[in-house]
Amino acid sequence: MIKKFRFGTPIETGAVISEIKEQDLTNLTEFNFKNEGVLEFNLQLKKLDIVYGLGEQIRGINKRGWIYTSYNEDNAVITETRTSLYGSHNFIVVDGQVKFGAFFDFADKVVFDIGYTDSNMMKVTCRGDGYLYIVNGENAYQIIKEFRSIIGQSYIPPKWAFGIGQSRWGYASIEDFEKVISSYEENDFPLDMVYMDIDYMTEYEDFTINESRFPDFDNFVKKVKERGIRLVPIVDAGIKVKNDYDVYLEGLEKNAYCVDKSGKPFVVGVWPGDSVLPDILNKESAKWFGSKYKFYLDNGIEGFWNDMNEPAIFYSKKRLNASLTKFKKVKPDMPREEFEAMRDIISSYQNNVEDYKDFYHNIDGKLVSHDKVHNLYGYKLTQCSADYLKEYNSEKRYLLFSRSSYIGMHRSAGIWTGDNASWWSHLLLNFQMLPSLNMCGFLYVGADVGGFGCNTTQDLLLRWMAVACFTPLYRNHSPWDTREQEPYQFSATDKFRQLMQTRYALLPFIYSEYVKCALNNDMLFKPLAFCFPNDKRAPFIEDQLMMGDAIMLAPVYQQNSVGRYVYLPEDMLEVRFTNAGIKTKERKNGNHFIKVALDQVVVFLRKGKVLPIAKPCKRAMDVDFKDVTFIKNIDSETVYTMCMDDGIKADDLRKYLVDIVVKP
Ligand code: MIG
């Protein structure tokens, strides 16, 4: 039930892996289609129609009432007025009197005006050439599963990647990492990963380790792993221009960088200063860049996060040089206008989209301007690292996630949602992104726990950790210029420990549900309406989600609240994780004010379902999936399907799904 339409001569993105026959445009009945230089798809919306999708985007689960742009953007100020974030996930589902999904597989900019200009109209405009896929189905949920089946199975990380990770931009030496790990150990906090931000490198050079601050690095990696913890380094997109940096020289020799019009490597400024961008849209160059991960792998590293791959640009050398003559000398009596003109020039450097028109990729011998394929950069960069990891060791699963992305990347990596802030509104925003990301194939997802930018507070971090209990990627991360945010920096140690233990108690459930969703092209997080299709209120609930088909999440996301109102579409069992054990209570359908203390996690278990709970553990790999107890809301025998693989081997995980019989 999928129709494929082609517009022009598209760049193949690789997002869709199924063979689908192209159809004549006369079969495009879902949209009113116009092509006057730019492609335009119009649809009249009915009052209560819902539009789902768009993956990593701002605003709610229902995307109506705003305008969204797919043009990957590095901008750390994520407010409600933004229109684009780090990824482009061009899949939407219209759910109303008409129901269909639409995937705009365009490498260039796509704008989704979903009732912004005219509240009853949806207008999608696409720049450049591409494909449109129309997915039909009975309901939104079926349409999504159908779409997921043509884009291929989602990435499954190793089991340890479901543990807790600690990160901070600023950890810069063995001592810093020692301190993090020992603080976790002293406080009896569980931990699986510590992330290494850019300060581990020599002068921000990718594929290097600062030897003076990390002497004997491979031994350090080994020692840390003996304590059950993995180090996960960051890899930035830009390669430093420097005459004795072997990686830079090698890439030069292989013509592996993006070039300007004259064919010279295009120079941009990022963390290392003047840098060049690997041309990862070129097959050979991509292969070369991916192979560089060997450096870390040889040191015992098993996980990576790819950053700055929109690509982020602090300045382009070209713009910088061209503007220099415009600078006047700063004088005390300088007119305000002149001063402001200078300031404007300076602030125009960072991530100026005009720069994207000034460099080129060599795609199969043809020079293609970056701005036409901009949205693929993070995807393809992460793809080539994933390809190399497989080549390095095809037996093993690696942890890999990226900041920038496009649909297709979901097969080889996860996403973290970039530079959020320590704002209560972002706690809700990041929660609402979960189902939208799942619709687009991204299952291994998570936000910086506690918020990245700005100063967090103890209560925000606690509430955030209660939500993160359920997100596949769970990482506390913040930059050096904000309040220190590791759980051990605050006084409520017992509360933090309680929440972290809850995560590990839930690991057999989280991991098994994740694997099943990946294998079945299913969503891990669903809007309520997908599970309660006959409930009239469910479509308008934006702050509760179903996880798998067993539990409903309803997190507290407001400061100073002692709980929240929760809507129960049916009778459910309230399951409360407390420091005095797990407490359950039957709840009738309807509205309830549910009290939730700062160290508690409350979920609602559906009738006929069970929830496996593991014994306390401090490392994900040590959680005993065989030794679980079940919280039950059943009248008769049922089965729970658990994934019992070793958590590491790259294998068909279907073989490890075990049905466990649970009696009432
Ligand atoms: O320009 O590596 O989103 O997680 O800590 C900032 C430093 C670059 C942005 C990432 C953030 C990371 C930071 N990076």
pLDDT in tens, 438-487: 999 999 999 999 999 999 999 999 999 999 999 999 999 999 999 999 99
Q: Where are the alpha helices (DSSP H) in 101-216?
A: 140-151, 174-186
Report d(CA 433, CA 527) in Å as an integer: 11
Q: Which residues contact 26 (CB under 8 A, 6 or more apart)?
A: none
- Write down which residue in 134, 151, 168 finishes a domain: 151
Q: Are 464 and 495 part of one and the same domain?
A: yes
Helices and strands counted in the chain (H then E): 15, 39
- Write down which residue in 151, 168, 188 finishes a domain: 151
pLDDT score, position 328 = 74
Choosing from 86, 197, 314 the residue with most ligand 1 atoms within 8 A of its CB, the one to mutate for a pocket test is: 197
Q: Are 585 and 561 part of one and the same domain?
A: yes
- Write down which residue in 508, 528, 547 finishes a domain: 508
Q: Are 410 and 558 part of one and the same domain?
A: no
pLDDT score, position 330 = 76
Report d(CA 14, CA 27) in Å as an integer: 24
What CATH number is attached to the domain comprising 544?
2.60.40.4040
Q: Are 134 and 167 part of one and the same domain?
A: no
On whether residue 362 sits in a domain, the answer given is no
On whether residue 21 sits in a domain, the answer given is yes
Task: Look up residue 129 and give its two tokens.
Answer: 């050439």
482, 453 contact by CB (below 8 A)? yes
Q: Are 546 and 478 part of one and the same domain?
A: no
Backbone dihedral angles phi then psi of residue 433, each to the nearest 5 degrees: -70, -25
pLDDT score, position 324 = 85
User: How far is ligand 1, taken at its centre, from the CA of residue 449, in Å?
Assistant: 14
Q: Which residues contact 11 (CB under 8 A, 6 or more apart)?
A: 107, 129, 130, 363, 368, 372, 373, 376
On whether residue 39 sits in a domain, the answer given is yes
Strands 39-44 and 360-363: unpaired
Task: Look up residue 327 and give its two tokens.
Answer: 């600078």
User: How far is ligand 1, taken at its centre, from the CA of residue 163, in Å?
Assistant: 22
User: How far is ligand 1, taken at its centre, from the CA of residue 418, in Å?
Assistant: 8
Task: Look up residue 168 and give its two tokens.
Answer: 């901070």
Q: Are 601 and 535 part of one and the same domain?
A: yes
Q: What single-letter DSSP state applies at residue 659?
A: E
User: Per residue in 530-585, pLDDT tens?
Assistant: 999 999 999 999 999 999 999 999 999 999 999 999 999 999 999 999 999 999 99
Q: What single-letter DSSP state applies at residue 333?
A: T
Closest atom of ligand 1 to CA, residue 198:
2
Closest atom of ligand 1 to CA, residue 234:
2
3 state DSSP class of 437:
helix
Closest atom of ligand 1 to CA, residue 479:
5
Task: Look up residue 393 and give its two tokens.
Answer: 């060791």
Residue owning the nearest CA to atom 13 of ligand 1: 169
How large is the angle between the packed helices 217-226 and 174-186, nearest 10 degrees? 10
On whether residue 265 sits in a domain, the answer given is no
3 state DSSP class of 30:
coil
From the CB of 475, is ligand 1 less than 6 Å away?
A: no
From the CB of 418, is ligand 1 less than 6 Å away?
A: yes
Q: Which residues contact 46 (CB under 8 A, 6 or more apart)?
A: 96, 97, 120
On whether residue 251 sits in a domain, the answer given is no
**Residue 630 backbone class (left: φ over 0; alpha: ψ -120 to 50; beta: rest):** beta
Q: Are 127 and 23 part of one and the same domain?
A: yes
Q: Which residues contact 661 (CB under 8 A, 6 or more apart)?
A: 637, 638, 639
CA distances from 221 to 27, 79, 215, 216 (A): 57, 38, 11, 9
Per the document, the length of the chain is 664
On whether residue 528 sits in a domain, the answer given is yes
Q: How many domains does the chain have?
A: 3
Closest atom of ligand 1 to CA, residue 167:
5
Q: Are 540 and 490 part of one and the same domain?
A: no
Residue ranges in the chain modelled with pLDDT below 50: none
What CATH number is attached to the domain comprising 111?
2.60.40.1760
3 state DSSP class of 503:
helix
From the CB of 307, is ligand 1 less than 6 Å away?
A: yes
**Residue carrying structure tokens 């109102």:** 565
Domain region containing 109: 2-151
From the CB of 169, is ligand 1 less than 6 Å away?
A: yes
On whether residue 267 sits in a domain, the answer given is no
Closest atom of ligand 1 to CA, residue 448:
4
What CATH number is attached to the domain comprising 423?
3.20.20.80
Q: Are 286 and 163 part of one and the same domain?
A: yes
From the CB of 319, is ligand 1 less than 6 Å away?
A: no
Q: Say if residue 311 is preceded by a cis peptide, omega within 30 of 0.
A: yes
Task: Look up residue 169 and give its two tokens.
Answer: 């931009």
Residue 214 CB burial class (10 angstroms; 0-12, 13-18, ≥19)? buried
From the CB of 116, is ligand 1 less than 6 Å away?
A: no
Closest atom of ligand 1 to CA, residue 312:
1
Q: Are 633 and 644 part of one and the same domain?
A: yes
356, 275 contact by CB (below 8 A)? no
On whether residue 254 sits in a domain, the answer given is no
From the CB of 237, is ligand 1 less than 6 Å away?
A: no
User: How far is ligand 1, taken at its centre, from the CA of residue 246, in Å?
Assistant: 24
Nearest in space to 477 (alpha carbons), one of 214, 235, 201, 164: 164
User: How far is ligand 1, taken at its centre, from the CA of residue 307, in Å?
Assistant: 7
Looking at residue 148, its amino acid is R
Residue 563 CB burial class (10 angstroms; 0-12, 13-18, ≥19)? middle
Q: Could you tell me the end-to-end alpha-carbon distance of the chain, in angstroms, rounded to an integer?
A: 41
Please list the residues that pair with 415 across neighbouring strands.
402, 445
Q: Are 486 and 534 part of one and the same domain?
A: no
Q: Are 388 and 474 part of one and the same domain?
A: yes
Choosing from 205, 234, 473 the residue with most ligand 1 atoms within 8 A of its CB, the one to mutate for a pocket test is: 234
